Structure 1
C-alpha cells in the first residue's frame, strides 16, 4: 500500500519538438527516476505539449507533423502522452499558461473522482477518432472566390476530423492544398480568422439546432456561416454566404 505522504507528480514538457529526439524521451525517464529515488514522489504521468504554429520559430515545421511524430515516438509508453491543446491555439501561448491549463484539467479530473488511466485512455481515444474523407459537391461558389481557387476546390480530396474534449470541440479539415483548424465551445462567442480560406476576421457563435451543429459568423459579409450534421454514415457540411451555398459530403474512411 502506498504511503499517504507520497506526492503524486505529473511531468510536463513544453517545446517545439522539431523534431522529437531520443533525448526528449530520455529526459522524462531521468526526471522520473530522480524524483522517485527520493522516496517522496510518484510520477503518475508525463505530458508532451508541442508549441503551435503561431510561435513562428525559424525552421519550425507544421504543428500537425510535429504532433504526429511525437505521438508515434511515445506510442509504446504506458505513462507518457502527447497533447494537442497548445498546437490548436490561434496565438502563441506562454509556458505558464500551458502549465495552468493542465493543472486545472488534472484538478477537475481529481475532483470528479476520475479513476481512468488518462494516458491509456488518451491513446485509445486517438485510435477511435472518427475520420471522414470525401469529395466536395459545389452547388455554387461564394462571392470573392477567384476562378483559379474554384478550379482547385473542385479537385480537392478533403479529410475532416471532429473531436470533442469535454465541452470543447475541435474541427480539423486537411487537404494537400490547405489545412484549417477551428476550436470552440457551443454557445460561446469567439473570434475566428479564416486563414487560408478568404482571410477574414469574424465573430462566430456555434449552437445546436436539432441534430445540426450550426455556426453564425458576423463580419463584413452578410448571412455567413456553416452547418454540420450526420445522415446515416455520412457527414454533411453546408457553407453559406450572401445567399450562396457550398455543400460537402464526407464518407467515413474505415482505413484511418
Structure 2
C-alpha cells in the first residue's frame, strides 16, 4: 500500500451509509451526527428517511428542507434500490420526490438484466429519465452492480452513464449476492470514464487498506457503513 491518507483527508471520500431495512429515525439522526463529527462528505439513507436525514433542518421530520450549511455532510439517497427492476417512470418520480425532501445526491440502480440481454441503450434511457427528474446541481450516481457483470458489460454501463449525463458510476448496492467492489472493477470503471465522471466504490470496503486500494485504483468516493471504524485506522497526520 503506497497511498496513505490522513483521517481528515480520507473522511472527504466517505458517504457514511445506512440502508438497513430496520433503520429507525433515531438511527438516522445518529448517523448524520456521526458523519458530521467524522468530517464525512455525505450520508446515504433510504428515501423515506430523508426528512430525518436532512438533519440541517434541526432534525425535525416536519420541517421544510433548507440549504445545507457549508461544510456539513451532503445527503444522498437511493432510487430503484436494490434491484433496479423498476419502471423508469417510477425511478424518476422517486428521484424527484427525493430532491423535494432534501436529497442533494441520488444513487440510482440500473436494471442489469438489460445489459445481460444486450440492450445497453435501455440502460441509457433509464438513466436519462432519472437525470431529467433530478437535474444538476443534484449529483447523480449510477449503481451498476459490477460484481455481477462481465468486463464488457461494465464498460457498457459506464458508457451509458456518461452518455446520459450522470456524475458518477458506482460499483454496488451491497445487497447483490455477487458481492461488492473490487479493485479490478474500480480500475476498469476509471479507465472507461476517464476524468469525466467520479467513481464510487461501495460494498465490502471495511478497512483502511481496502479504502486506500480503492482510491489508488481510481475511486473518488467510498460508500461505507463502517466509515467510523475505518477512519480510526487512518493516521491523524
Does the TM-score normalized on the shorter chain lie above 0.5? Answer: no
Greater Cα radius of gyration, structure 1 or 2 = 1
Q: Say which structure is richer in strand.
A: 1
Q: Bigger relative contact order, structure 1 or 2, given CA contacts below 8 A and separation 6+?
A: 2
